């Protein structure tokens, strides 16, 4: 007598769970194409940098390759600023911050541990480090603080992220190389 | 009952000499309404005395004209019988009457609650919902992640895994857009795929020497990469069969690259 109502409830619950578990509709082909067109150049360049990273045998080489990736992403950030595209600015700033924090910084740090200040590589390390810091600092200051773009929350967040990444890298320590 | 109501009802009667029961109490106590009733009775009698002209000749002439012109409605209209009238739904109606709708309401409420719960708890699209305003590319996000993975990778085995994932993503990208992309866009993806397999996956697989790691771990790493390439080959071949002409070449190129890469990895695994 009581089984029918329970079966009705169970059937509804199962149906509901099944509907909810269906995969969310991903981007349409047109949306994917739009993203491909926005990112095609980046895909190609990131592919090349990724392959170069695989061929890099030292921390300094990897830091150098990561620097190139951050420079490429920084270019995209500046273009987003020029276009006043806050969505793109936010997206690329996140990626730039990720590469600087998770790729560049650990390799710079490892290279500094590995490389003797008396060696030839030390000059290159200082150079890579300085470039990395300058690139991130310049990119952070390229995001305006005023105007419609500069006062938006997304631009403010992007600027803070980029400034944090620059601070994370920091300037290279004073040159210890003995002349 | 007010006088207005009583008089309206009196005037609506077919025979004002015979008021209905509900009017009688009012008429008994209201002289004005009784006067109205008397007037209505008198008017009715006067109307009945008016002469009525005979219409027989006109009526006959009208009927003759209709007969001459034939029937206006030539077919007999049929009122369609509905399924409901046919009694086909009687068992359903009977069953519905037996349902305790309180439990159905409970079921709907439970379903809504469970659905909402799953909706909020289960991440959709990797945590980024499609409705989020910025159309962020999840693929670009993954490529950035792969880049940092490579920056941290120290062994060929780790790099092989990343390149395998990257190749799969490029094939996935081609699969997402092949119906709408231009030919050069598809070719660009196929070229990236080739670079990733030929300059990434294969060289890293070659660097995993048999003596560098336990045989099982080496086999596992190579098999994982082979599986990714096998999947990419199968999917690209399938899509190529249904692709428009401008995308077919690129998808076939991806399938061929995956097939060759997989074969090479198989040779490496066998020590050839």
**Chain B residues whose beta carbon lies within 8 Å of the beta carbon of residue A9:** 103, 106-107, 110
- State how far the alpha carbon of B99 is from the alpha carbons of B19, B87, B139, in Å: 51, 20, 51
Cβ-based contacts under 8 A for chains A and B? 162
> Cα distance from B113 to chain A (closest Cα, Å)?
9
Closest CA to A55 of B150, B52, B1: B150
Distance (Å, rounded) from C-alpha A77 to C-alpha B210? 45
B42-49, Cβ contacts within 8 angstroms, sequence gap of 24 or more = B44/B15, B44/B16, B44/B17
b/e map of B9-24 (b: 16 or more CB within 10 Å)? bbeeeeebeebeeebe
* DSSP, residue by residue, A84-141: T-HHHHHHHHHHHHHIIIIIIHHHHHHHHHHS-TTSHHHHHHHHHHHHHHHHHHHHHH
Q: Which two tokens stand for residue A162?
A: 């980029």
Residue of B nearest to A50 (CA): B147
Helices A153-169 and A86-98: angle between axes, nearest 10 degrees: 20
Confidence class for position A62, pLDDT limits 50, 70, 90: very high
* pLDDT for res B70: 60
In a mutagenesis test of the B interface, which of A16, A62, A70 is the best target, namely the one with the most B β-carbons within 10 Å?
A16
Contacts of A177 (CB under 8 A, 6+ apart): A117, A118, A122, A123
Q: Which two tokens stand for residue B171?
A: 């094939």
> Cα distance from B231 to chain A (closest Cα, Å)?
20
Contact B255, B237 (CB under 8 A): yes
Among left, alpha and beta (phi > 0; psi -120 to 50; other), residue B261 is alpha
**Chain A residues whose beta carbon lies within 8 Å of the beta carbon of residue B104:** 8
Phi, psi of A13 (to 5 degrees): -65, -45
Q: Which residue reads 């009733």 in tokens?
A: B37
- Min mean pLDDT across A4-8, A119-123, B240-244, B248-252 is at A4-8
User: What does the angle CA A132 – CA A137 – CA A141 come to, to the nearest 5 degrees?
Assistant: 150
- State how far the alpha carbon of A177 is from the alpha carbons of A109, A121, A134, A158, in Å: 17, 11, 21, 36
- Tens-digit pLDDT profile for chain B (272 aa)? 788 888 888 778 888 888 888 888 888 888 888 888 888 888 788 777 776 666 677 777 767 776 666 655 555 655 555 555 666 667 777 777 777 777 777 777 777 777 776 665 654 443 333 344 447 899 999 999 999 999 999 999 999 999 999 999 999 999 999 999 999 999 999 999 999 999 999 999 999 988 888 888 899 999 999 999 999 999 999 999 999 999 999 999 999 999 999 999 999 998 87
Distance (Å, rounded) from C-alpha B172 to C-alpha B139? 9
Contact B265, B197 (CB under 8 A): no
Distance (Å, rounded) from C-alpha A112 to C-alpha A122? 8
pLDDT by residue (tens digit) across A126-178? 999 999 999 999 999 999 999 888 889 999 999 999 999 999 999 999 875 44
* pLDDT for res B240: 96
* pLDDT for res B250: 96
* pLDDT for res B132: 44
Distance (Å, rounded) from C-alpha B221 to C-alpha B161? 7
Does residue B118 or residue A114 have the better pLDDT?
A114
- Cβ–Cβ below 8 Å for A103 and B151: yes
Contact B174, B236 (CB under 8 A): yes
pTM, full prediction: 0.65
* pLDDT for res B129: 37
The answer to whether A7 faces chain B, any CB pair under 8 Å, is no
* DSSP, residue by residue, A129-159: HHHHHHHHHHHHHHS-SSHHHHTSHHHHHHH
Instruction: Please report which helix (H) or strand (E) contains residue A62, including its range.
Output: helix A59-82
Please give the share of chain A, as a percent, with pLDDT higher than 90. Answer: 74
* pLDDT for res B82: 58
Contact B176, B236 (CB under 8 A): no
Q: Which two tokens stand for residue B132?
A: 């989020």
> Please, which residues 24-83 of chain A have a Cβ atom closer than 8 Å to chain B?
24-27, 29-40, 42-44, 46-51, 53-54, 62, 65-66, 69
Closest CA to A77 of A94, A101, A63: A94
- State how far the alpha carbon of B242 is from the alpha carbons of A101, A141, B175, B239, in Å: 43, 49, 11, 5
Q: Which two tokens stand for residue A138?
A: 């310049």
Interface confidence (ipTM) of the complex: 0.84
* pLDDT for res B83: 57
* pLDDT for res B258: 97
User: What does the angle CA B214 – CA B216 – CA B222 come to, to the nearest 5 degrees?
Assistant: 105
Distance (Å, rounded) from C-alpha B160 to C-alpha B206? 10
């Amino acid at each position: 007598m009581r089984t029918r109502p329970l079966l009705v409830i169970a059937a509804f619950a199962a149906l509901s769970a099944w509907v909810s578990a269906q995969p969310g509709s991903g981007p349409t082909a047109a949306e994917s194409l739009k993203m491909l067109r926005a990112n095609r150049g980046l895909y190609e360049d990131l592919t090349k940098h990724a392959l170069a990273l695989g061929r890099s045998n030292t921390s300094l080489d990897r830091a150098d390759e990561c620097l190139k990736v951050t420079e490429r992403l920084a270019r995209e950030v500046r273009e987003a600023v020029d276009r006043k595209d806050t969505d793109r600015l936010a997206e690329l700033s996140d990626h730039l911050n990720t590469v600087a924090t998770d790729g560049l910084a650990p390799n710079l740090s490892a290279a500094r541990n590995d490389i003797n200040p008396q060696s030839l590589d030390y000059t290159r390390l200082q150079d890579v480090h300085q470039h990395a810091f300058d690139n991130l600092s310049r990119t952070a200051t390229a995001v305006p603080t005023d105007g419609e773009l500069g006062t938006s929350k997304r631009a403010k967040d992007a600027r803070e992220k980029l400034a944090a990444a620059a601070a994370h890298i920091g300037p290279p320590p004073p040159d210890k190389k003995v002349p | 009952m007010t006088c207005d109501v009583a008089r309206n009802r009196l005037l609506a009667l077919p025979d004002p000499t015979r008021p209905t029961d509900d009017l009688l109490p009012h008429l008994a106590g209201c002289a004005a309404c009784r006067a109205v009733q008397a007037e209505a009775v008198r008017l009715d009698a006067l109307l009945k005395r008016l002469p009525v002209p005979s219409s027989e000749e006109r009526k006959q002439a009208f009927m003759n004209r209709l007969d001459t012109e034939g029937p206006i409605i030539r077919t007999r209209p049929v009122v369609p019988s509905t399924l409901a009238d046919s009694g086909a739904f009687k068992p359903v109606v009977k069953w519905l009457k037996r349902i305790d709708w309180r439990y159905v309401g409970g079921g709907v409420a439970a379903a809504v609650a469970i659905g909402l719960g799953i909706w909020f708890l289960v991440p959709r699209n990797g945590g980024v919902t499609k409705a989020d305003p910025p159309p962020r590319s999840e693929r670009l996000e993954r490529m950035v992640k792969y880049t940092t993975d490579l920056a941290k990778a120290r062994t060929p085995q780790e790099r092989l895994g990343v390149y395998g994932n990257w190749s799969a993503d490029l094939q996935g990208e081609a699969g997402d857009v092949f119906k709408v992309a231009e030919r050069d866009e598809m070719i660009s993806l196929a070229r990236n795929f080739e670079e990733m397999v030929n300059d990434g996956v294969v060289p890293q697989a070659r660097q995993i020497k048999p003596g560098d790691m336990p045989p099982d771990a080496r086999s596992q790493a190579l098999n994982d990469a082979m599986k990714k390439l096998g999947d990419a080959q199968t999917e690209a071949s399938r899509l190529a069969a249904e692709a428009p002409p401008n995308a077919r070449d690129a998808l076939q190129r991806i399938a061929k690259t995956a097939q060759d890469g997989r074969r090479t990895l198989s040779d490496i695994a066998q020590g050839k």
